[in-house]
Amino acid sequence: MSDVAVSFDLDGVLMPSPLRQTVFASLWKVLGEFWAHKQGISLEGAQAQLADMVGAQRSRRIAAGDLVGAYDWDAIIGSVARSLGYGQGFSIAQMVEERCRDAQSLPGYPEVPGVLGRLSEIGVYMVVITNGYARYQMPVLRALGLVPYFQRIVTSDLVGHAKPEREIFEYAFGEVAPGRRYHVGDLLSQDVAGANAAGVRSIWLNRDLPEGFRARAPSQRPGLAGFLEYMGSALKQEEAFPTTQESLVPQYVVWRLEEVEAVIAA
């Protein structure tokens, strides 16, 4: 299948987010305890305020069109920490590196190596496209043993563009000969909208897809009764990225990563 190229998102597709599940949890505890003591409030209340502050910083960056900067966690959380008066420095990138030293305890999706291995065996050109910065994503990819499957690993800080901007897709597929191109992602506003804008076939991975949609083929699911309403409810759980309603409809919908193989083979 030398005429087929597939790009994959990382967090929520090939791996659960290590930042949210491990690094952020420990950082939130430290900053939360500091702020709770300083303000005389509960830890839960302090952590809620921290989340609001970080969310507001990211929202300002996104609203200003700085989609890449919205993923600079060291800058965002560092700025919030300084505004609280927290004087101890920290590096989220270093925390990720330290977390990845114990690769066996990293969260992962067990089906991923098998799917990537089978696609690689039949000659599919594979790329990673992630909005996460290289310094956060590469240690996890290496620890999970996923790097060898990919011809390119494209991060937003490398390109200067982030999904749903079409430029990051154009960069990722820039060395690929003409042929069928697919992108697999779990976010409508970033992965699906970006792939559609770039002329790449969009595959929405939704592991929580209701049973009623699963009986039909991935290419048929977007046209089923009730799907647009379900898609709308899923979109409400995502961050507000600049997109249009028309750009959000995927060409394929899968609920297991293994279904991507059938989509490509069809």
Tokens of 52: 């609001």
* CA 240 to centroid of chain Cα atoms: 14
What is the identity of the amino acid at 251? Q
Q: Are 215 and 264 in contact (CB under 8 A)?
A: no
Rg (CA), the chain: 19
Tokens of 135: 């310094």
Q: What is the mean pLDDT of residues 75-79?
A: 94
Question: CA–CA separation, 95 vs 99, rounded Å?
Answer: 6
SS3 180: strand
Q: Where are the alpha helices (DSSP H) in the chain?
A: 18, 24-39, 43-63, 73-84, 92-99, 112-121, 134-144, 156-159, 166-172, 193-197, 211-214, 227-235, 259-265
Q: Are 141 and 166 in contact (CB under 8 A)?
A: no
pLDDT at 2 over 80: no
Residue in the structure block whose two tokens are 């927290």: 86
Please write the tens of the pLDDT for every residue from 230-247.
999 999 888 766 665 668
SS3 178: coil
Residue 266's pLDDT is: 80
pLDDT at 1 over 70: no
Of 92 and 178, the structure prediction assigns the larger pLDDT to 92
Confidence band, pLDDT 50/70/90 cuts, at residue 199: very high
What is the percent of the chain where pLDDT is above 70? Answer: 95
Question: CA–CA separation, 128 vs 226, rounded Å?
Answer: 31
Tokens of 117: 């291995």
Residue in the structure block whose two tokens are 């293994």: 258
Please list, in sequence order, all residues whose beta carbon lies within 8 angstroms of the beta carbon of residue 103, skipping any fewer than 6 positions away: 143, 144, 145
Residue 18's pLDDT is: 65
Q: How many residues does the chain have?
A: 266
3-class secondary structure per residue, 45-80: HHHHHHHHHHHHHHHHHHHCCCCCHHHCHHHHHHHH
DSSP string across 115-137: HHHHHHHTT-EEEEEESS-HHHH
